[in-house]
Amino acid sequence: MILQLPDTLEVLYFYNCMSKEQHSYFKLYKPYKYLSQFITNDTKAKRKRFLGELYPFPEGTMAVGRLDETSEGLLFLTTNGKFSYHITNTGVEKEYYAQVDGLITVEAILKLQKGVSIGVKGKDYITKPCQAKIIEMPNLPPTNQRIRDDRHGPTSWVSITITEGKFRQIRKMTAAVGFPTLRLVRVRIGSETIESMQPGDVVGIKHTMDNI
C-alpha cells in the first residue's frame, strides 16, 4: 500500500544562506521492489516501480545514495546536490537490519566487524571495519517479499552499521561469511531513523549538514 503525506503535514525547508536557494529535504521508507530513482526516457518502458509514484516531489528531487530494488527502508531525497554529496561521501553512518539464511555465528560477526573481501567492479575489495551484532527479530512492517519459512531451515537477524556504501555491500558482506541475506532494511542514516514509518511513507525534514 502506498501512503501519502498527510494533508496537514508541513514540508520543511532548509534555507541555504550562502547560495540563497531554498531546498527541499525528505525521508522515505522505500518499499520492496521500488527502484531508488525517478522515471526517465530510458526507463519508461520497463515494468518497474519508481519513487515518483509515492509522492509528487518537487522538480529536481534526487535520491541520496541508493537502496537496491529488493531492499527496503530509509532513503533521503533532496533538491540539494551538496547535501547528497555530504551524506554519501563523508562517512555518515548507515545502519541496516539483515535477515540472513541460517543462525549467524559469533565468528561470522567478528569477521564482519574486521572487514571482509567482496567484489567491487570486478576487483577484490576489503570492507572497512564496521559495527555488527546479532539482534532479536526486529519490529519491522510486513513485507511483500516472500521469505522462506523455518521448515526450510532457521534464519537470524544482524545489525550492521557501515560508513561506506559499495554496490550491494551488505548482501555481499553477509554472503562472504556464509550467511546470505534474505531481507534487508536500512533503519538509520546518521541520526535519522525510520521510527514508526511504514513502506511508502514520506516525511519532510529540516536539517543542516552538521546534525545528520
Q: Which CATH number does the domain housing residue 136 bear? A: 3.30.70.1560
Residue 209 lies in a domain: no
Across 91-112, average pLDDT? 98
| Pairwise pLDDT comparison (190 vs 9), residue with the higher score | 190
The answer to whether residues 183 and 104 belong to one domain is: yes
Q: Identity (one letter) of the amino acid at 137? A: M
Same domain, 103 and 183: yes
Task: Extract the C-alpha cell encoding 160.
Answer: 550492521
Q: Do 85 and 159 share a domain, yes or no?
A: no
| Least confident interval from 77-86, 122-131, 138-147, 201-210 | 201-210
Q: In this structure, are 171 and 198 located in the same domain?
A: no
- Mean pLDDT computed over every residue of the chain: 86
Residue 36 has pLDDT above 80, yes or no: yes
Domain containing residue 73: 13-90+191-204
Long-range contacts of 132-135 (CB under 8 A, 24+ apart): 132/158, 132/159, 132/160, 132/161, 133/109, 133/158, 133/159, 134/104, 134/106, 134/109, 134/158, 135/97, 135/159
Helix (H) or strand (E) holding 187: strand 181-189
113 and 67 co-located in one domain? no
* Share above pLDDT 90 across residues of the chain, in percent, rounded to a whole number: 66
In a domain, 114, yes or no: yes
> Over 80: is that where the pLDDT of 76 sits?
yes
Strand partners for 158: 98, 134
Q: Looking at the structure, tell me whether residues 99 and 65 fall in a common domain.
A: no
Residues 72 and 98 in one domain: no
Query: Are 98 and 111 members of one domain?
Result: yes
- How many structural domains are present in the chain? 2
User: Percent of the chain, pLDDT > 70?
Assistant: 83
Same domain, 47 and 103: no
- Looking at residue 38, what is its pLDDT? 85
Question: In the chain, what's the furthest Cα-to-Cα distance?
Answer: 59
Tens-digit pLDDT profile for residues 111-156:
999 999 999 999 999 999 999 999 999 999 998 888 877 678 899 9
Residue 205, SS3 per DSSP: coil
Task: Specify whether 68 is catalytic.
Answer: yes
Among 63, 33, 30, 66, CA closest to 166: 66
| Res 10 pLDDT > 50 | no
Q: For residue 151, what pLDDT is reported? A: 73
Q: Catalytic: which of 7, 42, 68, 201?
A: 68
- Residue 17 banded pLDDT, cuts 50, 70, 90: very low
pLDDT for 8: 31
Same domain, 115 and 171: yes
197 within some domain: yes
